[in-house]
Amino acid sequence: PSATLSGLVRNADGPVSGATVRVQATDNMAVTDENGAFMLAGLPPAELVTITASAPGHYINWTAVVPDGITTTIELNEHYIGDDFEYDWAEEHGIEGSASCGVCHTSYPEWLADGHSQAAVNPRFLSMYAGTDVEGNKSPPPPKNNVGVPLPPDLSQPYYGPGYKLDFPTRSGSCAACHTPMAAKQENRQNCGWSGCHQDTTADFAGQILDRGVSPLDLKGDAAEGISCEFCHKIGQVALQRETGLPYPDLPGILSLRMFRPAAGHDLIFGPVDDIARTDIPEPRDVHLPMQEESRFCAGCHYGILGGVVVGNMDVKGGVLVYSSFSEWLASPYSDPETGQTCQDCHMRAGDVNYFAYPTRGGVIRDPNQVHNHRMFGESMLQNAMTLTATAQLENGQIVVDVTVTNDQTGHHVPTDSPLRHVMLVVEAQNGQQQLLPLVAGPLLPEWTGDFAGKPGHAYAKILQDEWTGEFPTGAIWRPVQIKEDTRLAAMSSDVSQYTFAAPDDGSATVKVQVLYRKAFQQLAEWKGWDDPVVVMEKIQIQVGEP
């Protein structure tokens, strides 16, 4: 026979209604009524069980009982609600930073392999910010016309690509707000330091009135961790516009986040489960935050309007939507709460292991669908991002190839996020001697695709044009830019193209169709010394005629 357990959940003001009471690591749960009362059934009658209770605004608490007909009471304490921006990031077990999380948590090595842990040391980001190549060679200041407007670079001289600090040597910009949000101990609400709009000399002269801009260069210690474990688990709210569900355009990154960095004597960690019970710490510190499983948690750093003019509190006129992963998801079928998928569903795969913390460190065995991988799968998903179909046949003495590329497996545009990224469809036909057959009709890849320029195919990219110099595509997104074209594939959309090749003399041909991904435009990568490989996303080979 099974046992039942009844009880109350209370806080300092009295009963707590709507609290979730759970047998830890199980689906056996109840919700307290208006009197804070609950009853759990189906319990083992003579075993010690851990019962947890959680409610919005409170730390999770627990009790361990043998359900023998007794009534139990679980006391909840309201969690810390301040934000100490001078907070010293975690140090436990004598270990500083995120490595201290790795003593217990399986997700630490996953995070180490993820781009978030590398945000502060990413050579592409740093070389674009500083105006150098990966070896530290620096481009000269940009030439300017007689009214101070930059001109295209003089390529007869050594040149290592554009850089924010080349254009704005005395400003820090807002890059740190997303890439290195632990780089300064500054207030992050309506703060010019994170916006980086004032010159350093202006901030220095103003003294305590203005914070100095936050630079992502030469960071040490916690700041060099980029987006750390603790940083994300101290986010309690994300500011989104009620009308659109999008971040406010003048609040990039940390400026859109309500942080809960505790003052001395307090602690707090937000997490996605409601049944954490730890006996190794003097007081509860875990808080259930359902938002950690929602796409809006990611919105602040994965949506960005650059440029424009701030005309009021959280209002910007003009500007260009440069980073748009979140808005792309929001506009797609994937945002449907009934049938869709969140960012976390795809990029934080669940089910690899069945515990958060190693059992030797007190971790409990739970449903593996509750345990999400922190590798934040991105590039490894490229081979499962789209569907490629192609047919080839002889028609009127020519080879006609029909190609369809469909973005049917990705909850945002392909490619997304950084406008340096692009995808190329490359189509070729060879005769029996492996000689390329000439294209008679069909689109060609543009000049900016580098080694692929002029080949049959199609490019998918958001191409930005520098309004100062007219250059495109440009990676200098901090300058005034405009979207020259956006040929990317939105979620659930398709691109259809046709290619006609001259027929081979021997009547047989091999048609090869590939979808390729590059992190950056070839010319820019060569200037910067980036060596990221071209990734084959999809490929098809078709034999036409008898070989």
According to the model, what pLDDT value does residue 248 have? 93
For the chain (547 residues), the mean pLDDT of every run of 10, in chain order, is: 94 98 98 98 93 98 91 97 94 90 94 95 98 98 95 96 96 95 88 76 61 90 96 98 95 96 95 93 94 98 90 77 98 96 96 92 94 87 96 94 98 97 98 94 98 99 98 97 98 99 90 98 98 97 88
According to the model, what pLDDT value does residue 496 have? 99
According to the model, what pLDDT value does residue 208 have? 60
Q: How far apart are CA 271 and CA 259, in angstroms?
A: 14
Q: How far apart are CA 542 and CA 246, in angstroms?
A: 45
Residue 102 has φ and ψ, to the nearest 5°, of -70, -15
Are the CB atoms for 236 and 202 separated by under 8 Å?
A: no
Same fold flag, 3-75 and 385-544: yes
Give me the CATH topology for the region 385-544. Answer: Immunoglobulin-like (2.60.40)
- Per the DSSP assignment, residues forming a β-bridge with 366 are none
Q: How would you classify the pairing of strands 309-312 and 71-75?
A: unpaired
Domain boundaries, the chain: 3-75, 91-119+170-303, 385-544
Return the CATH architecture of domain 3-75: Sandwich (2.60)
Residue by residue, DSSP assigns 166-213 as HH-TT---STHHHH-TTS-----SS-HHHHT-S-HHHHHHHGGGSPPP
According to the model, what pLDDT value does residue 41 have? 94
According to the model, what pLDDT value does residue 203 have? 59
According to the model, what pLDDT value does residue 369 have? 95
- Per the DSSP assignment, residues forming a β-bridge with 269 are 286
Tell the residue number behind the tokens 């050579």, with chain if given.
Answer: 123
